Amino acid sequence: MKDIHLDNIDLEQLVLKENIVSAVGMDSTQLQIGIKGDPSLRETAMDRCRYESDIDRLFNEIEPVFDDMLLRRGIFRLFIGFNNSEIRTCSIFDPLREEIHDARSLVSKEYVDRHFPLIPYAEKTRVMRQLYAALIKSDLYKFMPAHWQRLTSNRHQDWQPMAEKEVQKVLDHLKLLRNLPEYYLRNFSISTVQSVVRLQFNCDGTQIIHASDFDTFIEENLP
């Protein structure tokens, strides 16, 4: 039994190391991860002017909506496609599905109220804990191999959501990152469950950042 237990621990550590962002998020040694994309896009990045999309034109009106969705409504994961104005959301009210919205729709308060029910951030966090607890008690848990059961159990015990002030800080920098003259932001996503921010730039490079390290990323990369 001891050898099996050690094997399960080894499997657990292997799973955590193999994923860029694992089931428990990013570990303390990987606060920033850079992924290089298509080299031809990097080489031509300075020749490609930034396309002004609907989301660029309406950003001052839409940015407070992003803040509202993440901090006062059911959304826990948000994707923003700046070039095509595609908005993808995942909600605590239906966590297994992803919805897609046109950014122009978010200008309408009536639209936002119809699609994104209100819930306080603390209450949303409580519901997330309930969902994890329900998973551990469900039949699905029995289908997990032992190392995944340990991962899920440990995650449930230690889990904390992204701090509200960190959510706000990240969103406050989106316009600045989008307006960079050459390596501007193309796509963005944020997960308050895993405290992870993903930034894809015009050079096709992607930065995956732990929310707690976002200040350092800004200091090191913005002029």
178/6: higher pLDDT: 178
User: For the chain, what is the mean pLDDT?
Assistant: 82
- Contact between 109 and 61 under an 8 Å Cβ cutoff? The reply is no
- Give per-residue pLDDT as tens, 8-42: 666 556 655 655 554 444 444 455 555 454 454 44
Element (H, E) at 161: none
- The angle, 0 to 180 degrees and rounded to 10, between the axes of the packed helices 59-72 and 164-172 is 170
In which band, very low, low, confident or very high, does the pLDDT at 120 lie, cut at 50, 70 and 90? Answer: very high
pLDDT of residue 5: 46
Residue recorded with tokens 């407070």: 64
pLDDT surpasses 90 at 172: yes
- Contact between 83 and 205 under an 8 Å Cβ cutoff? The reply is no
Q: What is the largest CA-CA distance in the chain?
A: 62
Sequence-ordered alpha helix ranges (H) in 99-173: 109-115, 121-137, 140-143, 146-158, 164-172
Taking the C-alpha atoms of residue 91 and residue 198, their distance in angstroms, rounded to an integer, is 18
Mean pLDDT of 130-150: 88
State if pTM tops 0.85: no
SS3 content of the chain, % helix, strand, coil (to 5): 50, 20, 25
pLDDT of residue 149: 85
pLDDT of residue 10: 67
Side chain identity at 11, as an amino acid letter? L
Side chain identity at 91, as an amino acid letter? S
Q: Kindly state the percentage of the chain with pLDDT values over 70.
A: 76
Taking the C-alpha atoms of residue 197 and residue 141, their distance in angstroms, rounded to an integer, is 28
pLDDT surpasses 60 at 142: yes
pLDDT surpasses 90 at 66: yes
pLDDT of residue 197: 93
pLDDT surpasses 80 at 223: no
Q: If you compute the radius of gyration of the chain from its CA atoms, what whole number of angstroms results?
A: 19
Question: Which residues pair with residue 201 across a beta bridge?
Answer: 185
Mean pLDDT of 198-207: 82
pLDDT surpasses 60 at 44: no
Mean pLDDT of 54-74: 96
C-alpha dist (Å) from residue 63 to 16, 81, 170, 177: 34, 13, 11, 13
